A and B are shown apart, each in its own frame.
Chain A
Amino acid sequence: MALFSSRKTIVVDADVLVIGGGFGGCGAAYESRYWGRNLKIVVVEKANIERSGAVAHGLSAINCYMGMQWGENQPEDHVRYARGDLMGLVREDLIFDIARHVDSTVHKFEEWGLPIMKNPETGRYLREGKWQIMIHGESYKPIIAEAATKAASKVYNHIMVTHLLLDKARHDRVAGAVGFSVRDGNYYVFRAKAVIVAAGGASHIYRPRAIGEGTGRTWYAPWSSASAYGLLIEAGAKMIQMENKIVLARFKDGYGPVGAWFLLLKAYATNAYGENYEAARFDEMKALVGAYADVKPMPTCLRNHAMIEEMKAGRGPIYMHTQECLDTKEKEDIGWEDFLDMTVGQAVVWASQNIDPKETPSELITSEPYVMGSHATCSGAWASGPEDCAPADYQWGYNRMTSIAGLFGAGDTIGGSAHKFSSGSFTEGRLAGKAAVRYVMDLQASPEADAAQIEKLAATIFRPLDNYQVGRNEIVAGTVSPNYLLPLHGLQRLEKLMDEYVGGYSTFYVTSEPLINRGLELLSMLREDLDHLGAENLHQLQRAWELNHRVLTAESVARHTLFRQETRWPGYYYRADHPTLDDAAWHVFTASEYDAKTGDWRLGKLPVHHII
């Protein structure tokens, strides 16, 4: 306590606590206020809600919109699409639930001031693809944050939440959360009846392709630090599909998304010799995954697979032929706005490398893996489904409640509900927010956080500051100490071992039982070393806790990857010792529960029900 002897403990009581002010959290705040007029609804965010989360930058499209008002798609269609893309394994009840509500979310966004592009011929929203609509989305996040800020009793910015609190009497019930202010170092204790975790998925658990400054330009935000999972796993929540990491085919280095280019502008990709490699590799993919190769559109992982095989064969660079499609000023504007709205770094790459997309093709590449629940992937918590349509064993209480009573999730947090993106994550936040209000209204006796646990966590959370203070005085200068690791050191060790042992890009995403087992040995030593993290200041203390969340998530990923003895998603990762898809044994969800007291992991299977 020497360094921060003036540290205060701030206790905040709430009915509903929302952790994370991204799209899931903003939706949760909005909806919980609508239904819970007299409740205290608190949002806690580690940055500033106006520009936080995965959409901080902006977006150029809304990727989940049915268009039911024009009969464009029905919710069942979206379930079939997501199921096909994820090779059969999704929570159809959760996806249906988001799809049937998402249009009302998007209509509110437009009413609030989000500029949605219109098709001049039909007057409808301009479709990028079957599910996507184009927006002028530079201010997408500030607009949505305005709605959430007006809804919440209070938004606490710059507070990093590190742990959930469980009820003293019932360890399967949530009682709040703790964390610290990244600004003044005060200890924050949030006591809440219901908690909605809407924190971020995971970038930076695998070695990024860049090696210097460019490691900041990962595809998913560097501040998506796996808190969605780190918080829940530590608390003992049941997690599913953590092996279902995602690899993205993107513009090389800038990681500009390809959706608008393929779908709206009709650009196409070839290998270096101008060949359409995807079609040429169809039979090979069919041998790996059988009928799943016939799904239209071709699953995201299989498209990656074709690109990866081309790169292995030395037929790269892979090129996106932007120069073939930007034939009008209007299309050039759309192409540039696509990146200026959401990936300015891609425009910087073009300007720096003298690439004019109107004249020159751009390289594509497959990224390092990420762990998420909101994109074309569905890692996350096992959650209770909607009462009116979830199968009986998919519901045990309130919609979007995890296996811990009172603990809800939205966005990256919830597993099995892929293809939510921004609008679906906000919608899932709304579903969780309404359910949490109902839970609070029904609650007989409030949970009580354990004072001893709160005190113990205070010591744990600030320990890296003490470690640094002591260890730093034993060395002359520099970053090398035998007694502490800086957060960046720990992060680099994590990224390297996940890359080499658990299917990163350097092995072309290949792993196996012996590789994962060796990786787990090294991970267990890294986890022990986390007790020796040193933080020079509060910024590094934030990095230290982000690393804790990432490492625990990574271990979960490794264990799930080991458990699933098949290659379900070639192009996301490969089990060399089980190289094909095995529906007879593995048409199931993988599930795990971690016991923080004993350090044991319990893995098992959960059934996949097809309701559509």
Chain B
Amino acid sequence: MPTYTDMTKCDGCGECVDICPSDIMHIDPVYRRSYNIEPNFCWECYSCVKACPQHAIDVRGYSDFAPLGHKVRVLREKEKGSISWKIRYRDGRVKEFSFPIRTTPWGSIKAPADYAAPDAAGLSSPLLAHEPEALKVAALPMLPAAAK
């Protein structure tokens, strides 16, 4: 379906509604819980699955080519900087994987305005912010100016 929401776990908080890039996780007006209103516009990107505080959202593969009986479950531990997957095959086989997602604390990126302001002349040079240092070569490569 893509995604579907477990009736007993969802508390209707709306995190999935807020994060879905396709605007297809909506709150059902009767049950006050989320559901996928447009499975044929679901990319199985798992953004909502990862964002759900209740772990209430799961994926059942697309009905036009995915046989039933599988599960691909995920636990994204943002503060630990890791993500773990548990894959259960239709025939019962299980695989587990875990990968890092970030090497620095969330929120730690230095904003561009927190660097010393460049001088006005820099605006007409071809260098971008933090260059040439960030290139890790001595100078920005240039071509001979094209024939005018």
Contact = CB atoms under 8 A, between A and B. Distances in A.
A34 B112 contact: yes
A337 interface: yes
Interface string B94-121: 0101011111111111011101011000
A101 B76 contact: no
A514 interface: no
Contact of A47 (B21, B64, B72): B21
A367 to B, nearest CB: 14
A353 B66 contact: yes
Interface in A16-69: 30-31, 33-35, 37, 46-48, 50-53, 56-57, 68-69
Interface stretch (A205-213, A405-413, A497-505, A600-608): A205-213
Interface string B1-24: 110000000000000001111111
A101 B71 CA distance: 42
B134 interface: yes
A30 B1 CA distance: 36
A431 B109 CA distance: 21
A150 B106 CA distance: 12
Given A30-B112, A57-B47, A108-B134, A389 B146 contact: yes
A387 interface: yes
A136 B109 contact: no
Interface in B85-143: 85, 87-91, 93, 95, 97, 99-109, 111-113, 115, 117-118, 122-124, 126, 128-132, 134-137, 140-143
Contacts of B62: 210, 212-214, 216-217, 253, 345, 348
Contacts, number: 270
A348 B45 contact: no
Interface stretch (A290-298, A434-442, A585-593): A434-442
A223 interface: yes
Contacts of A30: 112, 129
B2 A216 contact: yes
A475 interface: no
A276 to B, nearest CB: 27
Contacts of A53: 21
Nearest to A140: B101
A518 B103 CA distance: 55
B67 to A, nearest CB: 5
Interface string A178-203: 00001000000000000000000000
A82 interface: no
Given A33-B111, A356-B93, A388-B142, A344 B130 contact: no
Contacts of B104: 112-113
A115 B101 contact: yes
B91 A349 contact: no
B148 to A, nearest CB: 5
Contacts of A223: 21-23, 41, 43
Contacts of B44: 216-217, 344-345, 348
Given A51-B21, A100-B141, A213 B40 contact: yes
Contacts of B65: 210, 214, 253, 349
Contacts of B21: 47-48, 51-53, 56, 221, 223
A455 to B, nearest CB: 27
B143 A104 contact: no
B37 A539 contact: yes
Nearest to A48: B19
B128 A51 contact: no
Nearest to A51: B47
Nearest to B68: A352
B30 interface: no
B7 to A, nearest CB: 20
Contacts of A56: 21, 43, 45, 47
Contacts of B144: 389
A108 to B, nearest CB: 6
Contacts of A347: 72, 85, 87
A356 B108 CA distance: 39
Contacts of A138: 76, 83, 99, 101
A2 interface: no
A349 B61 CA distance: 7
A351 B89 contact: yes
A348 B37 contact: no
Nearest to B114: A150
Contacts of A453: none
Contacts of A46: 23
A441 B118 CA distance: 14
Contacts of A211: 64
A139 interface: yes
A500 to B, nearest CB: 20
B68 A100 contact: no
Contact of B26 (A336, A345, A539): A539
B40 A114 contact: no
B143 A222 contact: no
5 contacts: A48-B21, A56-B43, A107-B135, A347-B72, A392-B148
Given A212-B64, A336-B97, A345-B44, 8 more contacts: A33-B111, A48-B18, A48-B19, A101-B140, A107-B136, A139-B101, A147-B111, A434-B128
